[in-house]
Amino acid sequence: MYAVIFRAKIKELDAQYSKMAERMRTLAINEYGCIEFTACTEGNDEIAISYWPSLEHIKAWHQNPEHKIAQELGKTKWYDSYQVQVTEVLS
């Protein structure tokens, strides 16, 4: 199993962000095999951790056209900066 850790410094979140975040969570879980998706915001910091069965699932998700749009909006509108880490979960 793998985890994707997304950390961001928030610039501005709006109603479009809320709709997009919900759509991305639903799409990841229902169509791309995401096992669990948890996100939290505190002040200007956001962290989201999602769990995936394989790197292939993560790569497919990364290439989804709707996800690409969300990524671009994140870069240009919602976040000052962000970082994504992919790690293997050992347990």
Q: How many residues are present in the chain?
A: 91
CA 50 to chain centre: 7
* The pLDDT value given to residue 40: 94
* The pLDDT value given to residue 44: 94
pLDDT digits (tens, 9 = 90+) for 66-91: 999 999 999 999 999 999 999 999 98
Distance CA 66, CA 81 (A): 20
* The pLDDT value given to residue 60: 96
pTM of the full structure? 0.88
Class of the domain covering 2-88: alpha beta
* The pLDDT value given to residue 9: 97
pLDDT digits (tens, 9 = 90+) for 46-67: 999 999 999 999 999 999 999 9
